[in-house]
Amino acid sequence: MARTPSLNILMVASEAAPWAKTGGLGDVLGALPDALDLLDHRVTVVLPAYRHVNLPPGDVIASTVPVGGTAYDIRLHVATLSERRRFVFVDYPPYFDRDGYYSAGGREYPDNDRRFALLAMAALQYAEQQTSETFDAVHAHDWQAGLVPLWLRLDPGRWPRLRTAGLVCTIHNLLYQGLFPRDVVPALGLPWSAFTIEAAEFWGQFSFLKAGIAAADVVTTVSPTYATETLTAEFGNGFEGILRAKGDRYLGILNGIDAREWNPASDPKLPAAYDASNLAGKRVCKRALLERFGLPMGDDALARPVIGLVSRLAHQKGIDLVAAASPALLQLDARWVFLGTGDAVHEQFLRDLSARAPSRVGVLIGFDDGLAHLIEAGSDMFLMPSLFEPCGLNQMYSLRYGTVPIVHAVGGLEDTVQNYTPRSRHANGFKFRQPTAEALIRVVQAAVRLYSDRESWLQLIRQGMSEDHSWESSAREYVKVYKRARQDAATR
């Protein structure tokens, strides 16, 4: 007999791995529904059918979705992945059959307001018209889904199946706020009451993210430290007052990692498997990594630490700190491997760095998932000098792969990395607190010095590999949020 799910959750987002991913948002929407499924909860995820998405098998439903004064004839691809988990892809080629998800040639699409308003309305209409279910919670992710809670607040009688649902909004990165001119209010068929300081108005513009935050019963972000940071002017990006107004209904839940995909004992992308009890395979991975980047790989080279970085090459990720520190960093007895793509100036910096020190620095501009796994496994240390980092996942991958993280102590990096001191029993990495080249140099120097102390280094490795950063505990925290939001909805 099928088990009765405890909760029925509708999620709306612009990305979900493996179909669409630019960063942590896609990872979360790929992993969280699965973790909730394993806890016996039912989850429906609605996202766009972008170009090049290999849609899983399922049913196709034709639907007409009204937004503003326009009726959109769309198709919904409904894929049932398990008894309790399904994904619904909104297929409207004029909006989603494009090269980029949000932009092209460095420019945001000028119709992003209409594109993601259609996603939000399609999700609501699917839940109301295409199912016979009642939903306990509606979970909107980032600005692209911000209109979902707003529309449910403005006209709850229009969606009876969602009327008693708790409304949850998650901020994955507060830097992206979905800002549009005030003209979007009538264009999207919204009342001017939505364009107020209590709702979606933000310095004369309409913010999709603020709309979602203001309408939600509970707002979450992706780590406890980032939740605290975003209440300050330094990290709040102008939203600190908005978030403070939510009081105890704004909290941070640390993201998890997919412990099945990221497991050095069974990772098919690695040339050798290993675990904390037998690290011999890690040495094999290190040699393969050096070979892949054309770096020296003899026994002498293997005795030196390899420091890896896999990142979007952007100012946020601290690449400018690496550039400023690079003369001193290259003097260390270590090898460096870099993988990423992003801003042209940062890409060129890495190319120039490799050209200056070809026997010490390997660079690949682009993204290669298999190589990302090899860097995690084959490196001895992993560098994450982010100026801010809502959660971060690579430091948790590194811990699982026995690769010691070196991080700037912000956001989820602060929450997951315990700094090494000679007396620390639970240290698993290294942290620096000031976002300066000098601080970065000092912490990398300290890590390279400790690397020669094999006993201390193995203790760091084994501590990190013993920790559980899987999604199960995080998913249980989201269940608490859904139940709390549902209780709030009952009193509306």
The answer to whether the peptide bond before residue 435 is cis (omega within 30 degrees of 0) is no
Quote the pLDDT of residue 4.
54
pLDDT by residue (tens digit) across 105-114?
Answer: 879 999 999 9
Q: What is the DSSP string of 355-374?
A: HH-TTTEEEEES--HHHHHH
Q: In whole angstroms, give the CA distance from residue 239 to residue 435.
A: 23
Inform me whether the pLDDT recorded for 317 exceeds 90.
yes
Buried b (16+ CB within 10 A) or exposed e, 20-43: bbeebbbbbbbbbbbbbbebebbb
Q: Is pLDDT larger for residue 300 or for residue 11?
A: 11
- The two domains 8-256+472-490 and 280-468 share their CATH topology (first three levels equal): yes
CATH superfamily of 280-468: Glycogen Phosphorylase B; (3.40.50.2000)
Domain positions in the chain = 8-256+472-490, 280-468
At position 217, the amino acid (one-letter code) is D
Q: What is the DSSP string of 11-70?
A: EE-S-BTTTB-SSHHHHHHHHHHHHHHHTT-EEEEEEE--TT--PPS-EEEEEEEEETTE
CATH number of 8-256+472-490: 3.40.50.2000
The model's confidence at residue 425, banded by pLDDT at 50, 70 and 90, is: confident
Report the share of the chain in percent with pLDDT over 70: 99
pLDDT by residue (tens digit) across 249-291?
Answer: 999 999 999 888 999 999 999 999 999 999 999 999 999 999 9
Q: What is the DSSP string of 129-163?
A: HS-----SEEEEETGGGTHHHHHHHH-GGG-GGGT
pLDDT by residue (tens digit) across 89-101?
Answer: 999 999 999 989 9
- Written as six digits, the tokens of 364 are 């690949």
| C-beta separation of 29 from 475 below 8 A | no
Quote the pLDDT of residue 32.
96
Q: In whole angstroms, give the CA distance from residue 310 to residue 202.
A: 35
Report the share of the chain in percent with pLDDT over 90: 92
Average pLDDT, integer, range 149-170: 95
The model's confidence at residue 492, banded by pLDDT at 50, 70 and 90, is: confident
Closest CA to 478 of 22, 29, 21, 47: 29
Inform me whether the pLDDT recorded for 2 exceeds 80.
no
pLDDT by residue (tens digit) across 473-489?
Answer: 999 999 999 999 999 99
How far separated are the first and last CA of the chain, in Å rounded?
Answer: 36
| C-beta separation of 463 from 27 below 8 A | no
Quote the pLDDT of residue 1.
43
Average pLDDT, integer, range 5-11: 91
The model's confidence at residue 198, banded by pLDDT at 50, 70 and 90, is: very high
| C-beta separation of 337 from 306 below 8 A | yes
Inform me whether the pLDDT recorded for 452 exceeds 50.
yes
The model's confidence at residue 5, banded by pLDDT at 50, 70 and 90, is: low
Q: Bridge partners of 67?
A: 70
Quote the pLDDT of residue 3.
54
